[in-house]
Structure 1
Amino acid sequence: MQPRNMSMSGVVDLAAVKAAQEAKAKAEQARAETARQGGGGAVSPADLVIDVDEAGFEQDVLQRSTEVPVVIDFWAEWCEPCKQLSPLLERLTVEYNGRILLAKIDVDANQMLMQQFGIQGIPAVFAVVAGQALPLFQGAAGEAQIRQTLDQLVQVGEQRFGLTGLSVDPEAEPGGGGAQAAPAEAVGPYDALLEAAVQALDSGDLAGAVQAYKNVLADDPGNPEAALGLAQAELLQRVQGLDPQRVRQDAAEKPADAAAQIAAADLDLVGGHVEDAFGRLIETVARTAGDDRDAVRVRLLELFEVVGAEDPRVIAARRALARALF
């Protein structure tokens, strides 16, 4: 089985992540053990802030995001607010001591990346975690707000993906051999487990498929095939037993009801009406606020994961979502 290419899909929901103290403690232990063993692969504080262009985006952002959450600062020389925000982000990145990496992208020199992220104005700040992208904020932001956002980002990386971050050595040479962390020890293979999950899915044993994929992800949180399979199995599990006529009637009568629109979007996607599912949830994001809006946004991003980031419908919907959010 060949996993899908790492891509900017399935944005992680920061607001919805719940506490998982054991996972966090495990991540902290891993960081401490790395430091105790001499900081193999340690980077200089100067290497925590990097300039990135389109040619290096896959290696410098997508690949590095499997080690550490990558914050992306979209800026331009002519942008006055950027001149205030960028130094603050750089200072905080160094202060977080390897728990985040800051990638600075000049939008004038990298128009394609700006378009891919659906950016309408700068400064704009995104993050990529385990190959998955999410918007953080756009425009000016205070230090307290930024700290809170970064704390949530670190929590997501640790608890959901097991990202322990980078080991930092103040004595390391900037740009030295430690700039690229040593590759993690290989885990798996999981072909047998993944095949069992597929068989359970094909036989209609949705609960078994969900558990099988979760078993893989418990040991290998970044496994892309297991993440995709889990998203598909959970979607089928959600629609099992629903009354389609009742669900669609509720959605038609309650256009601003988050739960009603989410259920209808699930049915849309299972029925092959991908654009209808995406459009329904994007419209609901624009109509709702607070927890309801977060719930709709999270479900939309989960459906992106099911369809796949390379699909043109996902690319278009992600841009529409960014416009609805900002």
Structure 2
Amino acid sequence: MRGAVDLSSLRNRPDPAEPRAAGGSASSALVRDVTDATFGEVLELSRTVPVVVDLWAEWCGPCKQLSPILEKVVTELGGRIVLAKVDVDANPQLAQGFRAQSIPMVVALLAGQPVPLFQGAVPEQQVREVFAQLLQAAAQNGVTGTITPEDAPDDDVAESEPALPPAHAEAYAAIEAGDYERAARAYEAAITENPGDADAKAGLAQVQLLLRVQGADLQQARAAAADAPTDVDAQLLVADLDVAGGHVDDAFARLLELFSQLAGDDRAPVRARLVELFQVVGDADPRVIRARARLASLLF
């Protein structure tokens, strides 16, 4: 999971025998239909150019108002943003992964990390403003590529992606089985084999978070934290639960406030947990960028 989205479950490798996205107007390089099977392609593409994900359905009236606006603005940006359209009825895995409780829902992907943008049909001017902010965030994180018509996917060729490394495959299988301890061991093995494996480090941070919150009661944890504002363990647990539930800003604010109240060695576990949660959410996420800047100001 990255923030509110479980990217490990969304990164399924496509079946070469499964057809590519079909139908609709999303057939160009800049505006693409995406399925549960082909989502990995745009996830990787987001490391080069920002990808805006439009979660919609045929029966959704506001979706039909918003989608043409998104397509128009993306087209006018000339390849600086790619639009990925997801029919939530036909792609339940993506709908669940993005927690699309209401549609239309629009999320950005920056370097593989999700950034919530807005829900509901919004005016064209607001779309332009949000996309301008997205491009600024992308530039700050080195995602500055562009897409040309020659980059469009070839619908006549179904290419399979390389197989996952054995340790990653083992971790994914363990996550699907709910065995987070086995997943953690698999990711640790991947890091031992390749200390520079960023995906394995992020995966390890994610499953360690899931292990920490497993069986925890949010209300009880909040009550305990309220009774002991400087109890580090109590505050860390609530922050973990907040990130696991998608309340990322709340988690960071809690830990940064606690960090500011502590001194010396007492700060160490709070800083360590913040750094770990930054990795869970993703370094490209604007919420992480803001929290990291605040942490740096408290340190120096």
TM-score computed with the length of structure 1 as normaliser: 0.47
Which residue of 92, 106, 126 corresponds with 1:125? Answer: 106
1:1-326 equivalent positions in 2, closer than 5 A:
9=2, 46-59=28-41, 61-160=42-141, 162-168=142-148, 175=153, 224=198, 252=226, 264=232, 268=236, 273=237, 276-279=238-241, 296=253, 304-306=277-279
Residues in 2 aligned to 1:298 and 1:124: alpha-carbon distance in whole angstroms: 29
3-state SS, counterpart of residue 104 of structure 1: strand
Indicate how the Cα distance of structure 1 residues 266 and 72 shifts in structure 2: closer, same or farther if over 3 A, else same.
Answer: farther
Is contact 1:10–1:305 with CA below 8 Å preserved after alignment? no
Residues in 1 aligned to 2:123 and 2:274: alpha-carbon distance in whole angstroms: 27
Deviations 1:177-202 (A, max 9, x none): 9xxxxxxxxxxxxxxxxxxxxxxxxx
Whichever residue aligns with residue 252 of structure 1, its letter is A
**How far off is 1:298 after superposition?**
11
3-state SS, counterpart of residue 149 of structure 1: helix
**How far off is 1:90 after superposition?**
0.4
Residues in 1 aligned to 2:247 and 2:38: alpha-carbon distance in whole angstroms: 33
Residues in 2 aligned to 1:298 and 1:51: alpha-carbon distance in whole angstroms: 40
3-state SS, counterpart of residue 134 of structure 1: strand
**How far off is 1:252 after superposition?**
2.1
Is contact 1:126–1:133 with CA below 8 Å preserved after alignment? yes
Residues in 2 aligned to 1:127 and 1:298: alpha-carbon distance in whole angstroms: 26
Deviations 1:29-82 (A, max 9, x none): xxxxxxxxxxxxxxxx931000000000112x2111111111000011110100
Whichever residue aligns with residue 98 of structure 2, its letter is F
Deviations 1:93-135 (A, max 9, x none): 1111111110000011001111111110111111111110121
Indicate how the Cα distance of structure 1 residues 176 and 103 shifts in structure 2: closer, same or farther if over 3 A, else same.
Answer: same
Residues in 1 aligned to 2:78 and 2:274: alpha-carbon distance in whole angstroms: 30
**How far off is 1:224 after superposition?**
2.7
| Structure 2 gap segments, 5+ residues each | 5-26, 156-195, 207-221, 257-272, 283-300
Deviations 1:133-179 (A, max 9, x none): 1211111211122111111111111112x11222436xx596569xx
Whichever residue aligns with residue 29 of structure 2, its letter is D
Residues in 1 aligned to 2:199 and 2:56: alpha-carbon distance in whole angstroms: 34
Residues in 2 aligned to 1:152 and 1:225: alpha-carbon distance in whole angstroms: 27
Whichever residue aligns with residue 143 of structure 2, its letter is L
Is contact 2:3–2:243 with CA below 8 Å preserved after alignment? no
3-state SS, counterpart of residue 28 of structure 2: helix
Is contact 2:52–2:82 with CA below 8 Å preserved after alignment? yes
Indicate how the Cα distance of structure 1 residues 49 and 294 shifts in structure 2: closer, same or farther if over 3 A, else same.
Answer: farther
| Structure 1 gap segments, 5+ residues each | 1-7, 12-44, 178-219, 233-247, 255-259, 287-291, 310-326
Is contact 1:82–1:123 with CA below 8 Å preserved after alignment? yes
Is contact 1:265–1:278 with CA below 8 Å preserved after alignment? no
Is contact 1:76–1:108 with CA below 8 Å preserved after alignment? yes
3-state SS, counterpart of residue 64 of structure 2: helix
Higher relative contact order structure (alpha carbons within 8 Å, sequence separation ≥ 6)? 1
**How far off is 1:301 after superposition?**
9.2
Indicate how the Cα distance of structure 1 residues 64 and 267 shifts in structure 2: closer, same or farther if over 3 A, else same.
Answer: same
**How far off is 1:249 after superposition?**
11
3-state SS, counterpart of residue 66 of structure 1: coil
Is contact 1:10–1:304 with CA below 8 Å preserved after alignment? no
